[in-house]
A = this chain, B = another copy of it.
Amino acid sequence: MENNITIRDTLLTLVQGKKFSTIKDILVTMNSVDIASLFEEMPEDILPKLFRLLPKELAAETFVEMESDSQELLVKGFSDRELKDVINELYVDDAVDIIEEMPANVVNRILKQANSEMRKDINELLKYPEDSVGSVMTTEFVNLKSNVTVEAALEHIHKTALDKETVNTCYVTQADRVLIGCISLRTLIIANPTDIIRDIMETNVMSVSTDEDKETVALLFDKYNHIAMPVVDNEKRLVGIVTVDDAIDVIQEEASEDIEKMAAILPSEKSYLKTGVFETFKARIPWLLFLMISATFTGAIISKFELQLTTYAALIVFIPMLMGTGGNSGSQASVTVIRALSLGDIEFNDIWRVIWKELRVSAICGLALSVINFAKLYLIDYLMLNNFDAMVAISEMLVVCVTLFLVVVVAKFIGCTLPIIAKRLGFDPAVMASPLVTTILDTFSLLIYFTIAALILNI
């Protein structure tokens, strides 16, 4: 954060001079996100001191934005009174996110200081599995009855809005808490004060279930431009809402996760510079090891053909180009298909359309590459540089170009089908990206190469 550097230095100087009231004046002009990122750069011992300077509400907001290490540090330094103030100021879903990262003894202390309603809500939300909608929803929404007037509804919102995470959309339920409609604050403001909610609410309301995958729900926000979505239990009773800021977090997290998996890294939730060296090592070594061992198969194939390779030594030269092109063609197809699966653009039923498309694309790509490669080999290597043994030159070029074509076609076919099949089998398609596909394709590329060579050169 480039522009924090100077504020950071100023702050450190002020801390040394014990000018705490000046520091407070500076902090209250800032927003919680920036204060949190500034605090992260402060020495651990002065952090609690600085934190105590913040007014109650800003303190809670800042606390939410901090990394869990610092949160733990602060909680341990808080008096019971301070902890109570911060905890009860939080939104329930934020409190749950924080608690999930804390060791058990800290969690117990937090729950002890939470007021009874907060504690009940936290315990409720903690029950949902990690990737479910339940884990990202909040229970603080505006609930309206269908038989009241707009005026009464606005009065109700006026009284209760302070504790709600959003009031932009209000939800209408029956006596048994079953969701029957929603109404935006905008509609309420536009409407006549005497209108009855039932008559002006939106009845065609989209809701999700608590046990739905949070990624699926995040995509609904993207598709339908929601700013909040109601969450219902199995009896269709309204239990919470998901807000758009949480949906954005999920979208970013899932994109990062997909990207990491595509690069053969075990996904992590921490940002790059916050992750320790050993943690990074642990995220990267499993795939490196697996892929290194798989690559010995390619070696085994080469060693089977060692004799032929020493006879036609020129063939060795093309191995990296063929393997590289195969890998690149395959990852183009697999990555495109993985992203389309993630965004919900394609699903298993589309497999034949995908294969048919990739076959045509790969035929054109393969043809273009082969022709250009042949021209390059013939004009530059053969005629100009005279790199080939004249006797077998043309047939060697043919071997390379026919192989190139086949490798591209096979690569795109494998690249596009593996992720779809993986998803169908319940695996994450992102794992079927470049590195794994490339390693599989290396084997295919070599087998094709040596088979074509055997056919054309009669080895």
Interface residues of A (CB under 8 A from B): 2, 29-31, 33, 154, 157-158, 161-162, 166-168, 185-186, 189-190, 204, 206, 221-225, 227, 244-245, 247-249, 251-252, 255-256, 258-260, 262-265, 271-273, 277-278, 280-281, 284-285, 287-289, 291-293, 295-296, 298-300, 302-303, 306, 309-310, 313-314, 316-321, 323-325, 327-329, 331-332, 334-337, 339-340, 343, 345-347, 349-350, 353-354, 357, 360-361, 364-365, 368-369, 372-373, 376, 387, 408, 434-435, 438-439, 442, 446
Chain B residues lying within 8 Å of A373, measured Cβ to Cβ, are: 292
A435's contact among B162, B331, B408, B442, by CB below 8 Å, is which?
B331
Closest B residue, CB atoms, query A323: B320
* Given contact pairs A272-B346, A325-B288, A313 touches B316 in the complex (Cβ within 8 A): no
The reply to whether A189 and B167 form a contact with Cβ atoms under 8 Å apart is yes
Closest B residue, CB atoms, query A353: B273
In the assembled complex, the Cα of A259 lies from the Cα of B222 at a distance in Å of 18
The reply to whether B285 and A298 form a contact with Cβ atoms under 8 Å apart is no
Listed by A's residue number, 11 A-B pairs whose Cβ atoms lie within 8 Å are A227-B227, A252-B255, A262-B335, A263-B335, A280-B361, A284-B332, A288-B329, A292-B324, A298-B321, A302-B319, A331-B435
Closest B residue, CB atoms, query A294: B324
A438's contact among B167, B310, B317, B324, by CB below 8 Å, is which?
B324
Least Cβ–Cβ distance between A229 and chain B, in angstroms: 13
The reply to whether B321 and A302 form a contact with Cβ atoms under 8 Å apart is no
Q: Which of A278, A313, A339 has the most CB atoms of chain B within a 10 A radius of its CB?
A: A339
The reply to whether A321 and B295 form a contact with Cβ atoms under 8 Å apart is yes
9 residue pairs, one from A and one from B, having the closest CB atoms: A263-B335, A272-B340, A295-B321, A298-B320, A225-B245, A255-B255, A299-B317, A295-B324, A271-B345
In the assembled complex, the Cα of A287 lies from the Cα of B284 at a distance in Å of 27
Chain B residues lying within 8 Å of A260, measured Cβ to Cβ, are: 335-336, 339
**Contacts A262-B262, A285-B368 supplied; 18 other A-B pairs, CB < 8 Å:** A31-B206, A154-B189, A157-B189, A161-B189, A162-B190, A185-B185, A225-B245, A260-B339, A263-B434, A264-B331, A264-B332, A273-B346, A277-B364, A288-B328, A292-B369, A298-B320, A306-B316, A319-B319
Chain B residues lying within 8 Å of A298, measured Cβ to Cβ, are: 320-321, 324
In the assembled complex, the Cα of A273 lies from the Cα of B356 at a distance in Å of 11
Query: What secondary structure prevails in chain A residues at the interface with B?
Result: helix
Chain B residues lying within 8 Å of A190, measured Cβ to Cβ, are: 158, 161-162
Closest B residue, CB atoms, query A305: B316
In the assembled complex, the Cα of A14 lies from the Cα of B30 at a distance in Å of 60
Copies in the complex: 2
Chain B residues lying within 8 Å of A300, measured Cβ to Cβ, are: 317
Closest B residue, CB atoms, query A202: B31
Least Cβ–Cβ distance between A422 and chain B, in angstroms: 17
Least Cβ–Cβ distance between A323 and chain B, in angstroms: 7
Closest B residue, CB atoms, query A225: B245
Least Cβ–Cβ distance between A409 and chain B, in angstroms: 13
* Given contact pairs A248-B248, A317-B302, A295 touches B325 in the complex (Cβ within 8 A): yes
The reply to whether B31 and A265 form a contact with Cβ atoms under 8 Å apart is no
Least Cβ–Cβ distance between A293 and chain B, in angstroms: 8
Chain B residues lying within 8 Å of A244, measured Cβ to Cβ, are: 227, 244, 248
Chain B residues lying within 8 Å of A31, measured Cβ to Cβ, are: 204, 206, 224
Chain B residues lying within 8 Å of A317, measured Cβ to Cβ, are: 299-300, 302-303, 306
The reply to whether B369 and A281 form a contact with Cβ atoms under 8 Å apart is no
In the assembled complex, the Cα of A451 lies from the Cα of B325 at a distance in Å of 26
Chain B residues lying within 8 Å of A251, measured Cβ to Cβ, are: 248, 251-252, 255
Closest B residue, CB atoms, query A324: B295
Closest B residue, CB atoms, query A272: B340
The reply to whether B331 and A316 form a contact with Cβ atoms under 8 Å apart is no
Least Cβ–Cβ distance between A36 and chain B, in angstroms: 10
The reply to whether A361 and B284 form a contact with Cβ atoms under 8 Å apart is yes
Chain B residues lying within 8 Å of A262, measured Cβ to Cβ, are: 259, 262-263, 335
